[in-house]
Amino acid sequence: MFLSESDSQSLWLTIRLAFAVTAILLFVGTPIAWWLARTRSRFKGPLGAVVALPLVLPPSVLGFYLLLAMGPQGPVGHLTRTFGMSALPFTFWGLVVASVFYSLPFMVQPLQNAFESIGDHPLEVAATLGASRLDAFFTVALPLARPGFLTASIMTFAHTVGEFGVVLMIGGNIPGVSRVASVQIYDHVEALEYGQAHHMAAVLLAFSFLVLLALSVWRPTTLKTARRD
């Protein structure tokens, strides 16, 4: 195998992180996206800007403030100490929390677009048939938004796999704990191990290509199925 044990370990850690972040954001991002798509509140603009902030904010800046918040003197650090938990920085779950914030727009924005594309008519029809708002959400909105869920999940997973600045700030470089694939590549380059760096980079390059290929192939198919339904 052309990957060393430490390379394989960092890839497995990255996959675990990406799955955890995608699963959490499916639960957290869906209600946020639904609210942004349906509300007429004056707070829609500010909340939308907060959600989109990681798209333009340097990862090191976001990582720095998350590090302060989760550190021993930060509000999250005080909370974890109160419950007898260890501090989140330089742990796997610290990476999860940071990645949830950093990947939030990659989940919320595709879902918001999918919900907005549904329009009011299907939900109004469901209401005339006696469906409550909650029933209409689960039986009408979610099935019609399947293409958006597919896109959001794939993009969130792929974005988490490629993270570097935020995970380095929060997790450092601890083997088996916080050394993800992108940090492993950085280590190889820093040690002038260009061969190993090429191997790891090739794996991530192939993964990125397959993600884009999957989106281009599956999304039209899912759209056709959703329209038939």
pLDDT tens-digit readout, 149-206:
988 999 999 999 988 989 999 988 888 888 999 999 999 999 899 989 988 999 888 9
- The answer to whether position 130 is within a domain reads yes
Give the tokens for residue 227. 């329209």
pLDDT at residue 225 is higher than 80: no
- The answer to whether position 141 is within a domain reads yes
Residue 26: alpha-carbon gap to chain centroid: 9
Between CA 39 and CA 42 the distance in angstroms is 9
- The answer to whether position 101 is within a domain reads yes
- The answer to whether position 77 is within a domain reads no
* Residue 34's CATH number: 1.10.3720.10
pLDDT of residue 226: 46
Question: How many domains are there within the chain?
Answer: 1
- The answer to whether position 84 is within a domain reads no
Range of the domain at 38: 5-59+89-228
Which residues have CB under 8 Å from 75's CB, separation 6+?
69
Between CA 42 and CA 62 the distance in angstroms is 26
H-assigned helices in 75-91: 75-82
Q: How far is CA 18 from CA 59, 95, 98, 129, in A?
A: 17, 10, 12, 40
- The residue whose two tokens read 């742990």 is 91
- The answer to whether position 167 is within a domain reads yes
- The answer to whether position 185 is within a domain reads yes
Which residues have CB under 8 Å from 97's CB, separation 6+?
66, 70, 88, 170
- The answer to whether position 164 is within a domain reads yes
The number of beta carbons lying within 10 Å of the beta carbon of residue 143 is 14
pTM for this model (two decimals): 0.88
